[in-house]
Amino acid sequence: MSEARKKVEGITKESTQAMIDHAMEIYPEKAKKKRAPHLAPNEGEGACVKSNRKTVPGIMSARGCAYAGAKGVVWGPIRDMVHVSHGPVGCGWYSWGTRRNMMSGINGVTQFGMQFTSDFQEKDIVYGGDKKLRTLLEEAQTLFPLAKGISVLSECPVGLIGDDINSVAKVASKELDIPIIPCNCEGFRGVSQSLGHHISNDTIRDHIIGTREFAEPESPYDIALIGDYNIGGDVWSVKPLLEEIGLNVKAVWTGDGELEKIAATHKVKLNLIHCYRSMNYMCRVMEEKYGIPWLEFNFFGPTKIRESLRKIADQFDDYIKEKVEAVIAKYDPIMQAVIDEYRPRLEGKTVMLYVGGLRPRHTVNAYGDLGMTVVGSGYEFAHGDDYERTSVEMPEATVIYDDASEHELEEFVNTLRPDLVGSGIKEKYLFQKMGIPFRQMHSWDYSGPYHAYNGFPIFARDVDMAVNSPTWNLVKSPF
């Protein structure tokens, strides 16, 4: 970013550090030592916090597990596959329909947004679940003949009892003549959802990519949309925009995704990646193995959309460049009208974010478009490269937090008293009880889409609705 680093009145490196120190006071020595490096004032470049470390026991983390990253994030959204939660009943039940990765198709016929599980019982733990798995794969194929494939997503016990889902999948795949992908994403692996993303990427690399090709002739404008999970219909906002600028979106990873198109993605000319954290692995694989370049983009808010569209155009010829300019010219006034409506109601308001993936940095400027300033941001499961990308987006000396505990968030919010908190379901009601407006930024709070030009008006409306709801005026009781 070329512009001068943004400053927020009243926030200095010292004030932020004092706030962090205060939050740490209550911690036992060991916990303090572990947690302190994960919290810091923004330095404007580089990763200012430590990340991707084990969660400190007992601190009330918001993190999920590797299974959550595999089922909920990467595999679950692929619509034409049966995704089996292999192990006890709970994991699949909790992650059933709770991420809002929308799917087209007919439920149970061409689309399988359901909860498939081997529902492990004591005897499966004692004798192993491989036989059961073999049987259920066959049952799945019988009952869902149009499914294009089956993923087997391991829960904790599977890895602990030494089941071999890989060989079961291999044999069954051959016998049933359908792709069956074993994914060893047991929840105890790694430190967060993040390893689940990585493991899932690896299984796509090992079992999927390169196994299909597109039937239609190639074009120089063939691209894949990577790391958009169609939360609240995001893909259905992004894909038409990319098509409007002349690109052919050949595959989406993995929102409303189709297995065979994902399998043929090695034939595209460019990978456009939205969620870097969960999908950079496969972008790198496709770059190394197939020479496909990849480009990060940000479709939150008109400023970043414009910037990203031009960055995308730079990868192509004048045909696309002209279309991009025409699209920007078309949408600029529409977006300006949205800003004109909402900005006066939101100007000068402050926001704190605590989310996953990319939103703690990608949405910063969308709030900026509405006249709002993000005064704190952090991730549940980010790595150093995410924080590097975040520091340049955030104002100077604002607080950055990694795997924040509920206590830390509460302290920071109490001190900074933002006008809005954007985080997850576990945080939502805590902050609302404090009388602070809140939007769920994982699930778009049952709204959306928020991506691209169709998403921004909805985002603006939702933020305004939260911040300016008259219900907040009733919190203080007259008696």
Partner 1 sequence: MTAETAVKYVTETPQEDIERVKNWINSEEYKEKNFARQALVINPPHACQPLGAELAAHGFEGALPFVHGSQGCASYYRSTFNRHFREPAAAVSDAMTEDGAVFGGQNNLHEGLENAYTIYKPKMIPIFTSCMPEVIGDDLTAFIKNAKNKGIVPQDFPLPYANTPSFNGSHIHGYDSMLLSILQTLTEGKKVEGRCTGKLNLLPGFDCNTGNYREYKKILEAFGIPYTVLADISEVFDSPLDGTYKPYPGGTKLDEAADSINGKVTMTLAPFSTTKTFTWIKENYSGKHVSLPTPFGVAKTDEFVLQLSKLFGKPVPESVKAERGRAVDAMTDAHQYIHGKKFALYGDPDYLLGYVSFLLEMGAKPWHIICSKGSKKFQKECQALLDGSADGKGCTIYLSKDLWHMRSLVVTDPVDAMIGDTHGKFAARDANIPLFRFGFPIFDRVNLHRAPLVGYQGAINMLTTICNKFIEVRDETCEDKYFEMMR
Q: Which of 83, 132, 277, 389: binder of partner 1 (CB under 8 A)?
A: 132
> Nearest Cα to 84, choosing from 70, 98, 104?
70
Catalytic residue among 35, 99, 266, 362: 99
In the complex with partner 1, the residue whose CB is nearer, 154 or 377, is 154
The rounded distance, in Å, linking the Cα atoms of 117 and 134 is 13
Q: Which stretch binds partner 1 (CB under 8 A): 55-63, 170-178, 353-361, 459-467?
A: 55-63
- Look up 99 and say whether it is catalytic: yes
- Look up 275 and say whether it is catalytic: no
Residue 15 interacts with partner 1 (CB under 8 A): yes or no: no
The 3-class SS string of 401-422 reads EECCEHHHHHHHHHHHCCCEEE
- Minimum Å gap between C-beta 85 and partner 1 is 9
The rounded distance, in Å, linking the Cα atoms of 35 and 58 is 12
Residues 90-119 that bind partner 1 (CB under 8 A): 90-91, 93-98, 106-110, 114-119
- Minimum Å gap between C-beta 96 and partner 1 is 7
Q: Mind giving me the DSSP string for 159-208? A: HHTT--HHHHHHHHHHHHTS-EEEE---TTSSSSHHHHHHHHHHHHHHHT
Tokens, residue 471 = 């219900």
Q: Which of 19, 78, 133, 275: binder of partner 1 (CB under 8 A)?
A: 133
Residues 24-53 that bind partner 1 (CB under 8 A): 26-28, 30-31
Catalytic residue among 68, 70, 91, 264: 68
Residues 384-413 that bind partner 1 (CB under 8 A): 405-407, 410
Residue 477 interacts with partner 1 (CB under 8 A): yes or no: yes
Strands ordered across the beta sheet of 350-353: 39-41, 399-402, 373-379, 350-353, 420-423, 438-440
Residues 139-158 that bind partner 1 (CB under 8 A): 139-140, 142-143, 145-146, 155-157
- Minimum Å gap between C-beta 338 and partner 1 is 28
- Look up 361 and say whether it is catalytic: no
Residue 84 interacts with partner 1 (CB under 8 A): yes or no: yes
Q: Which of 432, 457, 461, 468: binder of partner 1 (CB under 8 A)?
A: 432
- Minimum Å gap between C-beta 19 and partner 1 is 17
- Minimum Å gap between C-beta 463 and partner 1 is 20
Q: Which residues contact 322 (CB under 8 A, 6 or more apart)?
A: none
DSSP code of residue 428: H
x/- site string to partner 1, residues 247 to 286, per CB under 8 A?
-----------x-xx-xx----------------------
The rounded distance, in Å, linking the Cα atoms of 37 and 238 is 37
> Nearest Cα to 42, choosing from 439, 324, 361, 473?
361
Residue 361 interacts with partner 1 (CB under 8 A): yes or no: no
The rounded distance, in Å, linking the Cα atoms of 305 and 316 is 17
Catalytic residue among 38, 79, 100, 197: 197
Residue 375: helix, strand or coil by DSSP? strand
Q: Which residues contact 326 (CB under 8 A, 6 or more apart)?
A: none
Number of shown-chain residues binding partner 1 (CB under 8 A): 97
* Element housing 31 (H / E): helix 29-35
Q: What are phi and psi of 225, to 5 degrees?
A: -100, 115
x/- site string to partner 1, residues 188 to 227, per CB under 8 A?
xxxx-x-----------------xxxxx------------
Residue 464: helix, strand or coil by DSSP? helix
Q: Which of 47, 65, 102, 235: binder of partner 1 (CB under 8 A)?
A: 65
Tokens, residue 478 = 């007259």
Amino acid type, 198: H
Residue 86 interacts with partner 1 (CB under 8 A): yes or no: no
- Look up 197 and say whether it is catalytic: yes
Q: Which residues are catalytic?
A: 65, 68, 99, 197
